[in-house]
């Protein structure tokens, strides 16, 4: 299919009878997984205008803020790939031009579509990595994504690699949208996530799904927060007894279920990020409702140095290695389908993916 415009951005789409998938040429984001019959796209579209990262200029675009996250926020949408770290750069990296979540989030991608699906390719010159992502339909309501990462350098590299899937309105609603995940041991971020909305007890360890609150008691993470303002980040170790890990989200209003399933060995962690009208700095301006369901190789969003210093959490590695002059591969699936209730799981066996 020819290049299209999506929310004013250069994009490409593939579709079948039930779904349309759209990716952005800059940043590589999966901006849309759309149910064509209902018009529901669970993925987050920011409320601010979106621009190509290559056109971003700090002096000309103060509306996106003035820090290492601004270039990313100017063009972010939907499912964002964090590579080769998950979190913020160090002060020195930021001064050298690196943005939050690494180069993959702002890189320019070559995109090709065919009857078989869609392919994205990008070079990450600072990280010395080459990325290829292939997206195809695995069924009427499932897509399969294969990512290949090549280390162009002559040294083994420790990397962060997180699939930052962010949900937004109207699929996401306060006090309504429900969630399930193959989560076990969990921990709250040690640092604050907003100006005013943090309610989770910093650094607290707990068992999914009941996160301890600062004021006592707990909140069930299986239902989106009903508070007018809230924020937080928790990380969850995926069940080590399962070959595949998953999360599921369900919208009672649209009666649609949405989820991802992946090999736990590839991505042993799921981060849950909540931003509910709490951040006052631009471009947030206390006007954003999101939930990130972020499966990856690292438990916490943090700098490269902190990632390596942390090493492990609950005995599980907090980053992965890519050997010199080598390639590594991951594969995962996403599914969007009508449902009368929240599915308790998303399973993947052979070539079959289904809600249960």
Q: What is the pLDDT of residue 196?
A: 87
Distance of alpha carbon 43 from alpha carbon 33, whole angstroms:
7
Q: What is the pLDDT of residue 25?
A: 98
Q: What is the pLDDT of residue 115?
A: 84
Our CA angle for 320, 326, 331, nearest 5°, is 60
Q: What is the pLDDT of residue 29?
A: 98
Contact assessment for residue 211 and residue 186, using Cβ atoms and an 8 Å cutoff = yes
Q: What is the pLDDT of residue 182?
A: 98
Question: Which neighbouring-strand residues pair with 355?
Answer: 346
Please give the DSSP secondary-structure letter assigned to residue 26: B
Per-residue pLDDT 10s for the chain (356 aa) are 679 999 999 999 999 999 999 999 999 999 999 999 999 999 999 999 999 999 999 999 999 999 999 999 999 999 999 999 999 999 999 999 999 999 999 999 999 998 889 999 999 999 999 999 999 999 999 999 999 999 999 999 999 999 999 999 999 999 999 999 999 999 999 999 988 899 999 999 999 999 999 999 999 999 999 999 999 999 999 999 999 999 999 999 999 999 999 999 999 999 999 999 999 999 999 999 999 999 999 999 999 999 999 999 999 999 999 999 999 999 999 999 999 999 999 999 999 999 99
Q: What is the pLDDT of residue 251?
A: 98
Distance of alpha carbon 192 from alpha carbon 274, whole angstroms:
12
Nearest to 278 by CA among 315, 316, 228: 228
Q: Got the DSSP string for 197-237?
A: -B-B-TT-EEETTEEEBTTSSEEETTB---SSSEEEEEEEE
Domain boundaries along the sequence of the chain: 4-355
Q: What is the pLDDT of residue 1?
A: 65
pTM: 0.98
What is the CATH number that goes with domain 4-355?
2.70.98.10
Residue 348 buriedness (CB in 10 A; 0-12 / 13-18 / 19+):
buried
Q: What is the pLDDT of residue 116?
A: 87
């Amino acid at each position: 299919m020819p290049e299209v415009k999506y929310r004013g951005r250069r994009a490409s789409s593939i579709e079948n009878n039930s779904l349309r998938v759209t990716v952005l040429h800059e940043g590589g984001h999966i901006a849309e997984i759309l149910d064509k019959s209902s018009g529901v796209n669970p993925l987050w579209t920011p409320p601010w205008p979106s621009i190509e990262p290559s056109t971003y200029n700090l002096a000309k675009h103060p509306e996106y803020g003035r820090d290492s996250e601004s270039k990313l926020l100017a063009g972010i949408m939907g499912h964002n790939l964090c590579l080769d770290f998950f979190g913020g750069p160090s002060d020195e990296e930021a001064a050298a031009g690196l943005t939050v979540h690494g180069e993959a989030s702002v890189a320019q991608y070559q995109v090709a579509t065919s009857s078989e699906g869609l392919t994205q390719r990008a070079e990450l010159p600072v990280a010395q990595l080459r990325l290829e992502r292939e997206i195809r339909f695995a069924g009427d309501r499932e897509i399969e994504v294969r990512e290949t990462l090549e280390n162009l350098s002559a040294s083994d590299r420790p990397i962060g690699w997180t699939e930052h899937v962010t949900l937004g309105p109207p699929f996401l609603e306060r006090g309504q949208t429900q969630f399930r995940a193959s989560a076990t041991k969990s921990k709250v971020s040690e640092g604050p996530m907003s100006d005013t909305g943090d309610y989770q007890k910093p650094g607290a360890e707990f068992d999914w799904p009941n996160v301890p609150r600062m004021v006592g008691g707990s909140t069930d993470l299986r239902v989106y927060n009903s508070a007018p303002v809230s924020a937080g980040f928790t990380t969850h170790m995926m069940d080590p007894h399962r070959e595949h890990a998953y999360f599921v989200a369900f919208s009672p209003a649209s009666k649609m279920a949405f989820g991802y399933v992946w090999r736990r060995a590839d991505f042993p962690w799921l981060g849950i990020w909540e931003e509910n009208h709490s951040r006052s700095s631009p471009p947030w301006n206390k006007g954003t409702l999101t939930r990130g369901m972020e499966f990856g190789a690292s438990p916490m969003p943090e700098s490269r140095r902190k990632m390596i210093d942390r090493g492990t959490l609950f005995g599980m590695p907090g980053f992965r290695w890519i050997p010199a002059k080598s390639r590594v591969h991951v594969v995962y699936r996403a599914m969007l389908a009508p449902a009368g209730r929240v599915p308790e799981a998303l399973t993947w066996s052979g070539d079959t993916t289904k809600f249960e």
